[in-house]
Amino acid sequence: MRRFLPWLAVAMVLLVPAIAAADDGTFASYEQRGWGWLFLASFGFGFLTSLTPCVYPMIPITLAIFGARGENVSRGRALALATAYVGGMGLTYATLGVTFALIGKAGDFGTQLANPWIVFPLVLLFLALAASMFGAFDLQLPSGLQAKLNQVGGKGFGGAFAMGLVGGLIAAPCTGPFLAGLLASVSTTGNAAMGGALLFTYAIGMGVLFWVLAAFAMGLPKSGAWMDGVKSTGAIGLLFAAIYYLKPFIPGIRTIASPEWWFLLAAIGVAVLGIVIGAIHLSFHGPWGERIRKGFGVALVLGGALGIWMWKMTPKQHLPWLHDETAAFEKARAEGKGVMVDFSATWCNPCEELEVTFGDPEVFEAITSKFVPLKFDVTEGTDADNDRKSRYKADELPSVVFMSPDGRVLGRINTKLEPDEILPVIGKATKQLSGGPTASAK
């Protein structure tokens, strides 16, 4: 029975990233589902990072630090040394999380995701990382610097902790596809304590592999085709991330999809075809025929993945939005309706998800029958945008405010809601259209 415990532990650990990846993969979506899900996602993606090529070469070094393979080191001591190592790594990432949270609070990080001077260099970084993972070149720290970092520390718990402090730096080239999304989410919160806790959790996820190795001294599989497959999968994910961040600069990207089921099935079919052709298992270092097959397969997988994402984010129908505040309130008074004010931005993923909810037939009818839809696009973060957000107390996105024609606040929405969740909110706002006094936003 005891010989199966290592594999049971590994199986349990592998379930975590599977659960965390059961959504669209954006950290903002996990935040909308609650902090518990965001912490679970941080842990899961941290574990996935530990399976990337930059971490794999560190394993023999860290095993030597723990003494996991030493004859005179007990399993308990090996686990304690591994804990010290992971704790050092956690301190490094927690410091990074606190820093980005404070920077985001001061600089409105979300708005910067629509700034070409911010987004284009980020996209170029993603493309470079993808090219590296496809094998175009080796992306790693300079050999001299990495050798010096490997020499940090020493024997005992202090040495393990010190090595952990720099362990995250050695793994840095492969953390991009996961860490970038988490840092972006942390930056929008402006919460330093939460930022540090999330990044520490990310480091704990990375450290699970080291704990397992320290506890059971498992043999390492040799690098080979499976590692190339992992790298190709990561590269495709990076290409997807590049397109995702370019979204504000591609206005028609959400209009080419259909909300019908046939579109989803077609997109899945295209992605599967790309995998079969060779997007994952073939190499760009083989004969030209193999390279062409792999390139075509990668394009199909990427196109299919984008199709699935666009299908999910495409509303079944669009509300008849007005964009002029005065005209919207005049129309509301003339028709005896309220006004539903929606603040959105091209970089706000939960805002797009709310658009899908608004397109639900029952929700669409509940809104249009009693409210005039008014949309403010605050992507650019101008003075006028900030003034409107201040007047309506819409400090965070998404933000939807239900108003009476005379400016009374009837209800608010500050998170993504499903149709069955938003209908009671609309119903309550509708009842208050002719009700008592509420807070004024004007």
Cα separations in angstroms, 257 against 30, 103, 310, 333, 393: 24, 36, 6, 36, 34
pLDDT at 165 (0 to 100): 74
Could you tell me whether strands 399-403 and 409-413 are parallel, antiparallel, or unpaired per DSSP bridges?
antiparallel
Other C-beta atoms closer than 10 Å to the C-beta of 323 total: 11
pLDDT at 170 (0 to 100): 56
pLDDT (tens digit, 9 = 90+) per residue, 245-267? Answer: 787 777 677 678 888 999 999 99
pLDDT at 440 (0 to 100): 44
Task: Please return the burial class of 439, using the count of CB atoms within 10 Å of its CB with bins 0-12, 13-18 and 19+.
Answer: exposed
User: For the chain, how many residues are written?
Assistant: 442
pLDDT at 196 (0 to 100): 86
Other C-beta atoms closer than 10 Å to the C-beta of 233 total: 16
pLDDT at 93 (0 to 100): 85
Q: Which candidate, 222, 242, 270, 287, places its Cα nearest to that of 279?
A: 270
Q: Which two tokens stand for residue 406?
A: 């005379």
Query: In the chain, what percentage of residues exceed pLDDT 70?
Result: 68
Domain 325-434 sits in CATH at: 3.40.30.10
Looking at the predicted structure, is the pLDDT value of residue 364 above 70? yes
User: Contact, 97 vs 198, CB < 8 A?
Assistant: yes
Average pLDDT over residues 132-139: 68
Looking at the predicted structure, is the pLDDT value of residue 26 above 70? no
Q: Which candidate, 27, 187, 195, 181, places its Cα nearest to that of 111?
A: 187
Cα separations in angstroms, 378 against 89, 188, 272: 38, 15, 38
Residue ranges per structural domain of the chain: 2-244, 253-312, 325-434
**Residues 285, 350: Cα–Cα separation, whole Å:** 40
Looking at the predicted structure, is the pLDDT value of residue 16 above 60? no
Higher per-residue confidence, 138 vs 26: 138
pLDDT (tens digit, 9 = 90+) per residue, 293-321? Answer: 999 999 999 999 999 988 988 898 999 99
User: Contact, 329 vs 392, CB < 8 A?
Assistant: no
pLDDT (tens digit, 9 = 90+) per residue, 62-75? Answer: 666 665 444 456 77
pLDDT at 222 (0 to 100): 52
User: Contact, 354 vs 417, CB < 8 A?
Assistant: yes
**Phi and psi, residue 412, nearest 5°:** -140, 155
**Residues 42, 182: Cα–Cα separation, whole Å:** 7
Q: Which candidate, 64, 53, 25, 56, places its Cα nearest to that of 41?
A: 25
User: Contact, 152 vs 160, CB < 8 A?
Assistant: no
Of the listed ranges 54-63, 384-393, 409-418, the one predicted with least confidence: 54-63
Looking at the predicted structure, is the pLDDT value of residue 219 above 50? no
pLDDT at 427 (0 to 100): 93
Q: pTM of this prediction?
A: 0.61
Other C-beta atoms closer than 10 Å to the C-beta of 289 total: 9
Q: Please, which pLDDT band fits residue 372 given cuts at 50, 70 and 90?
A: very high
Q: What value does the mean pLDDT of the chain take? A: 76
Looking at the predicted structure, is the pLDDT value of residue 277 above 90? yes
Quote the longest CA-to-CA distance of the chain.
85
